[in-house]
Structure 1
């Protein structure tokens, strides 16, 4: 007896009925219980009376012990071809749900998650993480921190090759922005961003390297780090201009780079060094604030005292609420940075 015949035999003409909730019949039917609720609405007192109403004809059924087999039987028999443009309801109930776990997809998404959120490679070996993955898919292939590291380095090399190919195909030259950044672990890095016009005459911006700087941040050292990064991508002959902040070591960097370009017969005009406009404005603002230096110093000390005292912070919040003003935390100013909250 096939599924349709079994449903025909067991279908009850009474609009309010109950069916046995047995796991054997559910397995035999191969149906998905959740599909029934697309066509039925639970009674407001469903927890007590277990009644559900068909959205298509108004028939009322009872779901004993949580079973929905009688609901699905009703839909198949009475409303199997309600509209031709809709998929057959019998097909919806009978087909298997398409889901297949792909371990490669999981690993690639895992690597992206680790990279984008700056997680440690060892996160994959933490017990809670393993429990999470196994709860999502018990057959998931677990990987070690060493495997994660190797795979991410392989991704880096692959992306580097793609970037190199892309930049080498650019018909014109490339401008660059550099910035020295210190990590939370106090390691210094030089971020290098490329700016260019692509084949479709659209301006593109691409972070091409984020390389650690060792030693003093002298102009010569910055030059060596910058040139090495460009040579790795075979674009050291395509430099048009460079934008940096106004630190004195960047002026020395441009001079050292200009000399290196001449020694290697590569055209580069050091007048194509552009100072970051935001830094120029900041210098102007700092000079304008000089007459207020003593007042700013007192304000800065007050903010520091409030920030380092939970009691003072609590009292400040209480006064903000008392006078119905926004409860904002005091921020210490940084002369070289625009702080936004």
Structure 2
């Protein structure tokens, strides 16, 4: 009995020293069985013991609705619906009940919540983290390698056709691409691109227009019905007068077509002669159903000129004159 008392007195006199491992063992026993595995987050303060880690995991789950993954047969595969995403219904996969995807979502989309749980990220990264981050980033070399195929597939003729369409739709002059900055810009986009001069641009435009005329001419030959024409005068930006000639007809499928044939410059009485020659060029003088014009003198000349060219036709050309009110 005296020996036991001496032992107790010795234990009370000696100070208790612990490295902390005793607490960690006790914490492990007190943990619940459903604690999810989690990998260390980049830049966060390393946790001291599993109690701190489990607390952070539980805090992460507070912002998600955890459910069973319907696409997985494993009971350990879950999915989490973010309760902070109001507009978009965000559902994240949780393989083996892991919360890494949830943590990354909070770090990317809800920074304040993430910092409340893990604290602010350290501005200094380890060499391994920096190396992994640089591998994920796309470099200018990788970008140039991807664009090499685009440069190899470049076709100058298609590029020139697009330039003609661009000039026509934007009402631009033929010398629009002759300035130095335009050349630098297109060379930056593709070193193989060559911009045409004003004379080349004019030649390309006339060539494209001639090809479009032949396409329209071939299409009009397939028309089995009569064709009605409207002739309307208008002024360009530089106040030059033109007459637009449009053909209207219905095909065999009862689909209405309205095709602009050409713009004829307004030159007084000579305009009627130019319009008559245009209809002859498209070979549609035998298909005329009616012509709607305004009551200018050039249109009277056009009708008389057209009658001289179509005198051999038995059918009578029906002409409707309407007052141009615009």
1:69 aligns with 2:95: no
1:175 corresponds, among 222, 225, 228, to 228
Say which one has the larger Rg. Answer: 2
Counterpart position of 1:192: 245
2:283 alignment partner in structure 1: 234
Pick from 1, 11, 16: which aligns with 2:42?
Answer: 16
* 2:181 equivalent in structure 1: 128
- Retained in 1: the 8 A contact 2:241–2:265? yes
What CA deviation, in whole Å up to 9, does each residue of 1:185-208 have, x standing for no partner? 343222100001112211110101
Question: Please, what TM-score do these two structures have when normalized by structure 1?
Answer: 0.52
8 Å CA contact retained: 1:176, 1:193: yes
Identify the residue that residue 119 of structure 1 maps to in structure 2.
172
Instruction: Assess, with a 3 A threshold, how the Cα gap between structure 1 residues 236 and 14 changes in structure 2: closer, same or farther.
Output: same
Give the alignment's TM-score, normalised by structure 2: 0.54
C-alpha distance in 1 between matches for 2:109 and 2:124: 6
Change (3 A) 1:130 1:48: farther
Q: Which residue does 1:107 correspond to in 2?
A: 160
User: Does the 8 A contact of 1:63 with 1:70 survive in 2?
Assistant: no
Instruction: Give structure 1 stretches of 5+ with no counterpart.
Output: 1-12, 18-36, 53-60, 73-94, 283-336
**Pairing of 1:83-162 with structure 2 (within 5 A):** 99-101=149-151, 102=154, 103-162=156-215
Q: Alpha carbons of 1:131 and 1:70: their partners in 2 closer, same or farther (altered >3 Å)?
A: closer
Residue correspondence of structure 1 range 195-274 to structure 2 within 5 A: 195-214=248-267, 217-218=268-269, 221-245=270-294, 247-249=295-297, 252-253=300-301, 255-257=303-305, 259-260=307-308, 263-265=311-313, 267-270=315-318, 272-274=319-321
Q: Quick one: distance in 2 between partners of 1:50 and 1:62?
A: 12
For 2:243 and 2:228, the matched residues in 1 are separated by 16
Task: Determine the C-alpha separation between the residues in 2 that align with 1:142 and 1:269.
Answer: 48
**SS of corresponding position for 2:150:** coil
In structure 2, runs of 5+ residues without a counterpart are 1-38, 44-103, 139-144
Task: Work out the CA distance in 1 between the residues paired with 2:271 and 2:238.
Answer: 20
Deviations along 1:145-183, whole A, 9 cap, x unmatched?
Answer: 222222221111111111000011100121000012232
8 A Cα contact 2:230 2:247, kept in partner: yes
Determine the C-alpha separation between the residues in 1 that align with 2:289 and 2:122: 78
Task: Give the corresponding residue for 1:26.
Answer: none
Q: How many Å separate the matches in 2 of 1:250 and 1:143?
A: 38
SS state of the match for residue 285, structure 2? coil
Contact 1:189 1:211 in 2 (8 A): yes
User: What is the correspondence of 1:315-330 to structure 2 with a 5 Å cutoff?
Assistant: none
Contact 1:175 / 1:242 at 8 angstroms: preserved in 2? Answer: yes
Query: How well do the aligned residues superpose, as a CA RMSD in angstroms?
Result: 3.9
Q: How many residues align?
A: 210
Aligned partners of 1:147 and 1:254: how far apart in 2?
35
For 1:160 and 1:251, the matched residues in 2 are separated by: 23
1:122 aligned counterpart, secondary structure:
coil
Cα deviation, residue 274, structure 1: 4.5
Q: Secondary structure at the match of 1:138?
A: coil
1:194 & 1:255 partners in 2: Cα distance? 16
User: Would the alpha carbon gap of residues 194 and 258 (structure 1) be closer, same or farther in structure 2, given more than 3 Å must change?
Assistant: same
Q: What are the superposed Cα offsets for residues 71-114 of structure 1, whole Å, 9 maximum, x if unpaired?
A: 89xxxxxxxxxxxxxxxxxxxxxx95785132333222111101
